[in-house]
A and B are shown apart, each in its own frame.
Chain A
Amino acid sequence: MSKHHISLTVNGDPTEFLCETEQTLLDVLRDELGLTGSKEGCGSGDCGACSVRVDGRLVCACLVLGAELNGAAVETIEGVAKAGVLHPLQQVFLNEAALQCGICTPGIIVAAKALLEENADPSEEEIRFWLAGNLCRCTGYDKIVRAVQKAAAVMRSA
């Protein structure tokens, strides 16, 4: 049986790929399109390391089939910096050392960006609730939460 031919946009660029039904969006991003920023932590939707957006909606790329995506708009960590300039979230995460091993960071940046687009001034509780599906085994989360608050302040004053 032939592979599925899918046309979509990835980070705004028209893109095509061939995939088998078994391949998830995460498999496609990493293995077919060479976009390895999204990480596989658990492969079962528990850890959030593969967080991406599909048609604006935050999802785990490991729980989406590539074959579903004809006509979709996918946004990944690779699309967060624009024209070589880091997004405020990325810059603040670096400045504040809100990461240690870094495996969870792409997913957290993508998820936090989605939060700040719908809530420019989230409380600590709102940030922790929104990011509850992004697991980090290094930081203990405090630096992450503070970095998101700081990035939100930077974005509000921009």
Chain B
Amino acid sequence: MLTFNNPTTVEEAVALLQKTDSRQRVLAGGTDLLVQLRSGRIQAQGVVDLKRIPELRTIRTENGGFRIGAAVSGAELGEHPALSTMWPGVIEGARLIGSTQIQGRASLGGNVCNASPAADGVPGLIAAGATCTIVGPGGRRVVAVDAIAVSPGKTSLAPGEFVVDFFLPAQAAKGGDAYLRFIPRTEMDIAVVGAAVNLLLDASGVCTHARVALGAVAPRALLVEAASHALVGTRVEAAALEALAAAARAACAPINDKRGTIEFRTQVAGVLAKRAAIIAYERARSRA
């Protein structure tokens, strides 16, 4: 029988995980964990539910940006108008995860730590330059979101560590982000390819900074620096978009599976990167 604990502070959770060793699984929304426990894909001796820890359940403004608890649900993210206005691409990704019912539970912390290469919540966070706070027996550390997933199902977290929150910095006055994914139907599917773009413009509309992240085209979501370089110094016109697409395709190292072939994923990564860049550019331009 699995043990069950629901600590109310981060310190209590750390102590519990340390005491009970590595066969404990932390529970946030549970939309991946419970399925994996039941199918036997993962084994555990116990579950530590983190949702009674207020720090993991709240969205707070901080230095003009947002600190988002790791267990905040997709529905709660979507109901935060200021967050959705500042980082629409991040929220688009988070809100694409599953159905209304799944949105009632699924969290960014879970989406990142489940370490699926196709996780819809992850490319937007990477493009936004989000960091996360990790806590464990060694105390707290802050790392970039792209440093969490290592390969499908595997993270860089040490035994006893978990993600407390994410920090989204203040979006620049002339910044915009967007996330797009390809699935073969209209809703309720796993990304064949995902692409997030976050860019900043100067007063004349020239891109001064860009971050491009791709999902489902490699063992983990990728930050594609060459794709960022293709946008900087441009007005995101046709030639820049072609260079962006070429850089995105060059970064792809996907697999063949039932959702898509290597050739298809590579091609679509370029297309989605272009389309996401156009949306991000329009969003940045339309900001006051």
Q: List residues of chain A with CB under 8 Å of any chain B CB.
A: 1, 4, 20-22, 24, 43-45, 48, 51, 54, 57-60, 62-65, 67-68, 70, 111, 114-115, 129-134
Contact = CB atoms under 8 A, between A and B. Distances in A.
B75 A57 contact: yes
Interface in B1-52: 1-4, 6, 27, 29-31, 34-35, 37-39, 46-47, 49, 51
Contact of A132 (B3, B73, B187): B187
Instruction: Name the residue among A1, A21, A131 with the largest chain B CB count within 10 angstroms.
Output: A21
B1 A20 contact: yes
Contact of A44 (B38, B73, B75): B38
Contacts of A4: 4
Contact of A58 (B4, B6, B46, B100): B100
A63 B39 CA distance: 13
Contact of A45 (B47, B51, B101): B101
B101 A48 contact: yes
- Chain B interface size band reads 20 to 34
A125 to B, nearest CB: 10
B129 interface: no
Given A59-B105, A65-B49, A44 B100 contact: no
Contacts, number: 88
Given A21-B3, A48-B99, 10 more contacts: A24-B34, A57-B75, A58-B100, A58-B101, A62-B34, A65-B27, A65-B47, A111-B100, A132-B100, A133-B101
A5 to B, nearest CB: 12
A65 B5 CA distance: 12
Contacts of B2: 20-22
A64 B73 CA distance: 13
Interface in B79-112: 98-102, 104-105
Contacts of A131: 100
B188 interface: yes
Nearest to B73: A57
Contacts of B99: 45, 48, 132-134
Contact of A64 (B30, B38, B47, B187): B30
A57 B74 CA distance: 11
A116 to B, nearest CB: 13
A115 B102 CA distance: 15
B38 A132 contact: no
Interface in B233-252: none
Contacts of B35: 44-45, 63
Given A21-B46, A45-B31, A57-B73, A67 B4 contact: yes
21 contacts: A1-B3, A21-B46, A21-B47, A44-B38, A44-B39, A45-B31, A45-B34, A45-B35, A59-B104, A63-B29, A64-B30, A64-B34, A65-B47, A68-B6, A68-B49, A111-B100, A115-B100, A132-B188, A133-B99, A133-B102, A133-B188
Instruction: Name the residue among A20, A57, A63, A132 with the largest chain B CB count within 10 angstroms.
Output: A63
A63 B31 contact: yes
Nearest to A131: B100
B268 to A, nearest CB: 22
B15 to A, nearest CB: 19
Contacts of B31: 45, 63
A130 B100 contact: yes
* 8 closest Cβ pairs, A-B complex: A133-B99, A21-B2, A21-B4, A57-B104, A67-B4, A59-B104, A60-B101, A44-B35
